[in-house]
Structure 1
Amino acid sequence: MIGNGEMILRLALAALFGSIVGLERERLLWAAGLRTHMLVCVGACLIMLVSAYGFKDVQGTPGVVLDPSRIAAQVVSGIGFLGAGTILLRGEVVKGLTTAASLWAVAAVGLAVGSGLYVPALATTGLVIGILAGIKPFEERWRDRQRGHGLRLTVKRGTLSVESLHGLTGEHASRIRQFILAPAEDPDLEIATVHFSRLPPATIRTLEAKLRASPDVVRVETAEG
């Protein structure tokens, strides 16, 4: 069994590695930031220590069979509850998946440190930071190229449906990838958000003009695509 000094060192390293990932999330002002990642990593490290060394006094007892991996394995599934909270707190919009994944990753780092796998834990920390900070600009650039065009329509209540929208957009109806209809503050109006896959600027302007010409459409605005 390792000594108390080694255990404290492992817990401190887990806090350090968790803080490195947490600082990147803190920089973007996510709910799960520096302290959350540190706590997850340290907690996972301690669970690993308990799993590996906490039952030494009963080992060898007749009728007692121990599996050191059982307690640590619960971290893998248990961290999902915390990760889900970082997603659900943002309401109906699915965001926070990356932060949830980073929490899951630092839990794995904590388990690795707790088991004494310092080099894999350090390497994983570096890879996680590289993925979170280094890959993001390329991901955003790719999304910008793939992003379509969105329109927010203010229409008279009960006048717009999927069928009528297809009629208004004509040959471009097949480019509609999302249609959301919600009530407006005015009880006589509704807000329709329509997202199209990528269209040439001239086609977008033509669509906007056609929609504005409809007697049931009160206003047409650009929405995030």
Structure 2
Amino acid sequence: MDWELELLFSARILFATILRADRLGPERQGSAAGVRTCMTISIGSCAFSLISWHISASDPARIAAQVVAGTGFLGAGVILQVKGRIAGLTTAATLWTTAAVGMACAFGMYVLAALTAGLIYGMLVLHHMPGWENFTRRHAAKRRRAVRLESEE
């Protein structure tokens, strides 16, 4: 195992996670994907890319591409539209990213796999943190309604 390369890959995946944790992009009005969904997709796509680049098969891109496409179809099955709201995006993204963890383990990229799994877990428990509701669209809608009701009084 090349620890220097593993640490480089880990730094790259942390950077990808931080970049998608911004408040502005994913939480815009009308966006179906939230912060957690975007973070999961960022983690997964980074991990898939690193794995494809690292393995030494005759055509490593084909391996990663097939896993990504196949897992994407699985994830599409859990996305639902209920009463005008989209549900299941985070679940689909988590399924997709979990495949990256499996691929990393298969190719002996244990640090990358452990970090990716930890980041996925951390992202999934974010909504239990105090103050998390300040980052959601629902919270912003409640604030707008409260302001509108106050101005009508």
TM-score, normalised by the number of residues in structure 2: 0.51
Matches of 2:112 and 2:60 in 1, distance apart? 20
Higher helix share: 2
Q: Which residue of 2 aligns with 1:118?
A: 110
| Structure 1 counterpart SS, 2:92 | helix
Following superposition of structure 1 onto structure 2, how do residues 166-181 of structure 1 map, counting pairs within 5 Å? none
Q: Give the number of equivalent residue pairs.
A: 98
Structure 2 portions without partners, runs of 5+: 1-50
Q: Which residue of 2 aligns with 1:159?
A: none
| Structure 1 counterpart SS, 2:79 | helix
**2:120 matched to 1:128?**
yes
Instruction: Compute the displacement of 1:145 (Å).
Output: 4.1
Q: Which residue of 2 aligns with 1:147?
A: 141
Q: Which residue of 1 aligns with 2:43?
A: none
Structure 1 portions without partners, runs of 5+: 1-47, 56-65, 150-195, 207-225
Higher strand share: 1
Give yes or no for contact 2:101–2:117 (8 Å, CA) kept in 1: yes
Amino acid aligned to 1:97: L
Matches of 1:92 and 1:123 in 2, distance apart? 36
**2:19 matched to 1:71?**
no
| Structure 1 counterpart SS, 2:147 | coil
Give yes or no for contact 1:87–1:100 (8 Å, CA) kept in 2: yes
Amino acid aligned to 2:79: I
**Structure of larger gyration radius:** 1
Amino acid aligned to 1:139: W
**2:100 matched to 1:108?**
yes
Match of 1:97 among 89, 93, 114: 89
Q: Which residue of 2 aligns with 1:84?
A: 76
Deviations 1:42-69 (A, max 9, x none): xxxxxx9xxx79x9xxxxxxxxxx3244
Amino acid aligned to 2:150: A
Following superposition of structure 1 onto structure 2, how do residues 202-217 of structure 1 map, counting pairs within 5 Å? 202-203=150-151, 206=153
Q: Which residue of 2 aligns with 1:40?
A: none
Matches of 2:101 and 2:139 in 1, distance apart? 34
Structure 1 ranges of 4+ moved more than 4 A: 89-92
Matches of 2:83 and 2:149 in 1, distance apart? 32
Matches of 2:99 and 2:82 in 1, distance apart? 22
Identity of aligned residues (%): 42
Matches of 1:140 and 1:106 in 2, distance apart? 26
TM-score, normalised by the number of residues in structure 1: 0.36
Matches of 2:61 and 2:71 in 1, distance apart? 16
Matches of 2:80 and 2:127 in 1, distance apart? 25
Aligned residues: CA RMSD: 3.1
- More contact order relative to length (CA 8 Å, sep ≥ 6): 2
Amino acid aligned to 1:142: F
Give yes or no for contact 1:146–1:198 (8 Å, CA) kept in 2: no
Give yes or no for contact 2:79–2:87 (8 Å, CA) kept in 1: yes
Instruction: Compute the displacement of 1:105 (Å).
Output: 1.0
Instruction: Compute the displacement of 1:130 (Å).
Output: 0.7
